[in-house]
Amino acid sequence: QKEVEQDPGPLSVPEGAIVSLNCTYSNSAFQYFMWYRQYSRKGPELLMYTYSSGNKEDGRFTAQVDKSSKYISLFIRDSQPSDSATYLCAMSASSGSARQLTFGSGTQLTVLP
Amino acid sequence: DGGITQSPKYLFRKEGQNVTLSCEQNLNHDAMYWYRQDPGQGLRLIYYSQIVNDFQKGDIAEGYSVSREKKESFPLTVTSAQKNPTAFYLCASSAGQRAETQYFGPGTRLLVL
């Protein structure tokens, strides 16, 4: 079993829809939770970063962490065709440890105009 | 412009050949990383370096080698011992040891002839 599980999709939604992307994990030591967006044939870009449980909002994006369920989510409101990309979740057990990022396999999202 | 550059964008390797992928950053970041990305899979850590002249193996270091002679440069050599080198290679960097906020380069796609 992988430490981080992410539904690969593909996921297609109409423009303006609310998108929900999710990851589950098994390592209870994870404390830092990130979402990266990766356009085709490009490097990932950091989208959201959350420490411990709770919600974090940035514009149309909301990241949620439920440590009790070992479940994280990324919500995209008013989705746009420019949001079409692969979304990767990533997690870290501790700060100050350079190597400890574990990635999900990514969910491919297409927003249809 | 601050950022991470990787070259070349595409690289072809012949059987038995070593090839070197370049990664340069001008973000003044201490830590640098190399990842491999295969279709439908998350990023897997090959090597990382927290300071100059020091580096550690990641999860899939076999068949790869690195050096860190300068803070801004972290080249990756794919040796002939790596039997399945075809993949998308991503370099990243982070400030200090904050692995949870890594910034990625545009990637190099390596293909075997």
Per-residue model confidence as pLDDT tens digits over B15-49? 889 999 999 999 999 999 999 999 878 899 999 99
Query: Prior bond to B75 cis, omega within 30?
Result: no
CA distance B82 to B76: 12
CB atoms near residue B48 (< 10 Å): 28
Average pLDDT over residues A100-106: 88
| Model confidence band, residue B81 (pLDDT cutoffs 50, 70, 90) | confident
pLDDT at B112 over 90: no
C-alpha separations of A8 from B8, B39, B59 in Å: 29, 11, 22
CA distance A98 to A101: 8
Residue contact B43–A44, C-beta within 8 A: yes
- Chain A positions with Cβ closer than 8 Å to B: 4, 6, 8, 32, 34, 36, 41-46, 49, 88, 90, 92, 95-106
A interface test, pick of B10, B34, B43, B109 with most A CB neighbours within 10 Å: B43
pLDDT at A101 over 90: no
Residue contact A43–B90, C-beta within 8 A: yes
Percent of chain A with pLDDT over 90: 73
| Model confidence band, residue A65 (pLDDT cutoffs 50, 70, 90) | very high
CA distance B95 to B2: 13
A61 CB burial (10 A radius; 0-12, 13-18, 19+): middle
Average pLDDT over residues A4-27: 94
Q: What pLDDT sits at residue A68?
A: 93
Mean pLDDT for chain A overall: 91
Residue contact A101–B109, C-beta within 8 A: no
- Chain B positions with Cβ closer than 8 Å to A: 4, 6, 31, 33, 40-45, 48, 50, 56, 58, 88, 90, 92, 94, 96-107, 109
Q: Please name the residue that has the structure tokens 């993949």.
A: B87
Residue contact A44–B97, C-beta within 8 A: no
pLDDT at B10 over 60: yes
pLDDT at B1 over 70: no
